[in-house]
Amino acid sequence: MYKAKAYAAAGATTPLAAATITRRDPAEHDVQIEILFCGICHSDLHQVRNEWKDVMPTVYPCVPGHEIVGRVARVGSAVTRFKPGDIAAVGCMVDSDRTCAECQAGLEQFCPNMTLTYNFPDKRASPENPGAVTYGGYSDSIVVDERFVLQVPRNLDPAGAAPLLCAGITTYSPMRHWGVTKGKKVGVAGLGGLGHMAVKFAHALGAHVVVFTTSPGKKDDARRLGADEVVVSRNADEMQKHADSFDFILDAVAANHDIDAFIQLLRRDGNMTLVGAPDKPLAVSGFGLIFKRRSLSGSPIGGIPQTQEMLNFCGEHNIIADVEVIPVQKVNEAYDRLLKSDVKYRFSIDMASLKAE
Ligand code: NAP
Ligand code: ZN
């Protein structure tokens, strides 16, 4: 075991603050990574504040962070794909059983024995530490099994690449699943961290992209990011112009909102996929789905092979997140700004700032 520096929340209403945690030494298949950048996902905020208590209650202290890019520091004796000095990445998962049908299919996100990167029972914790949970990327280092470590294309800036590990894969995966391609009309609701990645991907895949935003001030940015049209979703007339026309809508809104208003915009057999995860149930009109055989679905993160595919796609298309790089000491302020939709379009923590703690 060794000591690592981190930023942790001690409780649901306590600001994050500097903390010391223990990490395991790398075993034969493990990679120890010195973390360079970690993105701030809205899921970090939901969990730090225990907003998902009914589904996955938060265990404190909580060290969030699942958008991790860093430099390999040490590798175990059996590691073949990484060596010290390599740039490597870790996303939302750090383990799974590798034997179930989901793992065999490369869909580790559905494995019943999967381990999330933070706030999850840690099967690899030491016997002296029963009940320990995993600690995420708001830290100066992390130790992860090689199977859950990703390769980052060399042309991608590490600060902007970090958010690809959650915001990237969570939007890329359902777009691939639902066949977003040239000729499709695709909507993206909520221009935040996930939403802005969705716009970049849908544009790169050749779709006609329409952004739905509650922030009229984001219109120019939406177009710059790749949108063909921008709709202010609180304007019913603007919405009505797009009735019955979308093949696919990705909803990346972090708060409770009217999803029926978007379902009405789908064409026959159109699909809307939720990736945004508000804490309260959302109301859906059955008729909105029935009359046009529309469907509503959800999608969690993405499997490891597809995460690597997404990173390679980003390498080929030169896609990274638009980031505001902050020192870790500004994390609490960043959370407050997230709640005001005041981020362009992802905070990325420069972990070198943790040295000052
Ligand atoms: P974010 O950066 O805070 O973006 C959320 C966006 O939602 C905001 O920028 C805003 O966009 C819109 N919005 C906020 N409040 C709203 C309201 N009251 N009504 C309508 N729109 C509102 O969050 P994020 O990191 O992209 O995450 C988005 C959601 O996805 C979160 O709930 C997060 O937990 C979830 N998530 C899910 C997965 C998964 O696996 N499914 C993975 C990661 C994150 P506009 O200003 O454009 O309106
Ligand atoms: Zn996330």
- Closest-CA residue, ligand 1 atom 10, reads 190
Residue 126 pLDDT > 90, yes or no? no
Q: What confidence category does residue 130 fall into, taking pLDDT thresholds of 50, 70 and 90?
A: confident
What average pLDDT score do residues 245-262 get?
96
Residue 338 pLDDT > 80, yes or no? yes
Largest CA distance in the chain: 63
Nearest ligand to residue 302 Cα: 1
Q: What confidence category does residue 278 fall into, taking pLDDT thresholds of 50, 70 and 90?
A: confident
Tens digits of per-residue pLDDT, 16-46? 999 999 999 999 999 999 999 999 999 999 9
pTM over 0.95: yes
Strand partners, 273: 250, 297
Ligand 1 atom closest to 341 (CA): 9
- Closest-CA residue, ligand 1 atom 40, reads 300
Cβ(225) to ligand 1 under 6 A? no
Q: Are strands 68-75 and 87-90 parallel, antiparallel or unpaired?
A: antiparallel
Cβ(279) to ligand 1 under 6 A? no
Which phi and psi (to 5°) does residue 43 adopt?
-65, -30
- Closest-CA residue, ligand 1 atom 12, reads 190
Tens digits of per-residue pLDDT, 146-174? 999 999 999 999 999 999 999 999 999 99
What is the C-alpha to C-alpha distance for residues 173 and 110, in angstroms, rounded to an integer? Answer: 13
Residue 19 pLDDT: 97
Residue 116 pLDDT > 90, yes or no? yes
Ligand 1 atom closest to 195 (CA): 26
Q: Which residues surround ligand 2, an ion (CB under 5 A)?
A: 41, 43, 166
CA within 13 Å, CB half, 281: 2
C-alpha closest to that of 92 among 141, 152, 44: 44
Residues above pLDDT 90, as percent of the chain: 96
What is the C-alpha to C-alpha distance for residues 80 and 311, in angstroms, rounded to an integer? Answer: 20
A 10 A CB-CB count for 239 gives 17
Residue 127 pLDDT > 80, yes or no? no
What is the C-alpha to C-alpha distance for residues 222 and 227, in angstroms, rounded to an integer? Answer: 6
Residue 169 pLDDT: 98
Residue 325 pLDDT: 98
Q: What's the chain's average pLDDT?
A: 97
- Closest-CA residue, ligand 1 atom 25, reads 42
DSSP state of 337: H
Ligand 1 atom closest to 301 (CA): 40
